[in-house]
Amino acid sequence: MFLDYHLKDQIVLNSNFVECPVDGCHYLVERQIGSFKKSSEFLCPHHSIYISPSTYEYEDMRDNLLWKDPTEIELLQRILQVKRVNRIGRERSEDAVIWNIFRYLKRNAKLDSFIGSLLQTNIEVNTMYYWGYDELKGTIWQPLNEVRSILNEFIITEPDILLETIDTLILLNGNVHGNISIKPNSSKLIQPYLHQLEHNDLFKTSIDMISFLTKHYNLAKLWFLGNYLSRFNKKKFIFITIYNESRSNVMRMNDFQNTCITINGNQQFLPVTWSTFHSHLVQLESDEEFGILENYLLHKTFGYQNGKLKRAFPTLVTN
C-alpha cells in the first residue's frame, strides 16, 4: 500500500501522458480520458498500479487492504459477489477506508466500546452488515432487500455499515470526499423518494421536497432507507454520518438536521467529523494493530488535483 510518504507531492502530466505517482519512478503511461479503465496502457509495471491524472488503482486489490490474512480476504470476496459496486482497489475508495477501519474494530473486539463511545452509552451489537451483506445467509440481508423493493430505487443504496442491537438499528456512512453535497445526475434518481411521501413524518412539511432531495441527495436516501428498515424491524434508528470538516460541510449538516428532517424519540441523527471519529478511536486501549490503522489514517491520500497530492484526512495531520 502506498501512503503519502511513498508518493510525489506533484506529478508531471500533460494532454498525452501521466507520470507514475510513486516517488522516484519516472514511468509514463497514456493519459486516461473519461471513466477510469484498468488497461495495460495505463499500468506502471514497476509498481502494479493503473494510473489516471487524478488517482490510481492497484492491480491486486489486496494491496489496498490493511488486513490480508485468508479469512479476511475470503469474507471480502463473498461480499463483493453481491455488492453493486466494487472499487476496493482504487486509491480513492471510500469503501476500502470503511473496510479497513471496521475490520480493525471487529478483529480486536472493540466495536461495542467504540460505537458506545460515539453514542455516549453502553451498547451491544448483535449483528453487523457490511454494505448490507448477511454473513450467516451469504447474501444481502433480507429486510434490506424488502425495503429496496418498497422504495423501488432507480439505483440501489448500499449503506456502508448496518449494526443491530436488541432494540436499535444503526446506519453508519463514511464520506471522505471534501464535498458532502453530491447532486443526483438525473431526476429519475429522486422519483422513488417523492413517491413515498405518505411517510412525511420523516421530513419538515414546509420544505420543497424536490429541492431538498437534489441538495441533500446522499443524506436523504440514507435517512429514508434507515427509517424504513428500522420500522420494518420495529426498532429505534440512529444515523451516523462521518465527514471531513469544512465550513460548507458543517453548514450543510446543520441545514439537513435543523430545517429538513423531523426527529422524534425513536430517531437520532449524529453527524461526526473525521477528527472526532479519530479522537474516539485513539481513546480505545492501544494495541499493535491500532498502530497500523493510525499510520494509515494519518498518511492516507485521496488522489491528485491539478497534479498536486491530496490527503484524505488533512485535519488529522495537524491535530
Q: Which is it for strands 168-174 and 236-243: parallel, antiparallel or unpaired?
A: parallel
Q: Is the pLDDT of residue 43 over 80?
A: yes
Q: Any idea how long the chain is?
A: 319
Confirm whether 86 is domain-assigned.
no
Could you please report the per-residue DSSP string of 260-285? IB---TTEEEEEEEHHHHHHHHHHSP
pLDDT band at 251 (very low <50, low <70, confident <90, very high): confident
SS3 128: strand
pLDDT band at 216 (very low <50, low <70, confident <90, very high): confident
Distance (Å, rounded) from C-alpha 230 to C-alpha 226? Answer: 6
Q: Cα 221 from chain centroid?
A: 14
Segment (H or E) for 295 = helix 288-299
Count of structural domains within the chain: 1
pLDDT band at 186 (very low <50, low <70, confident <90, very high): low
- Domain containing 130 equals 109-283
Distance (Å, rounded) from C-alpha 265 to C-alpha 267? Answer: 6
Confirm whether 98 is domain-assigned.
no
**Using an 8 Å Cβ cutoff, are 144 and 175 in contact?**
no
Confirm whether 16 is domain-assigned.
no
In tens, the pLDDT along 75-121 reads 999 999 999 889 999 999 999 999 999 999 999 999 999 999 999 99
Confirm whether 167 is domain-assigned.
yes
SS3 17: strand
Confirm whether 276 is domain-assigned.
yes
Q: What is the mean pLDDT of the chain?
A: 91
Distance (Å, rounded) from C-alpha 300 to C-alpha 98? Answer: 13
Confirm whether 34 is domain-assigned.
no
Q: What is the pLDDT of residue 92?
A: 96
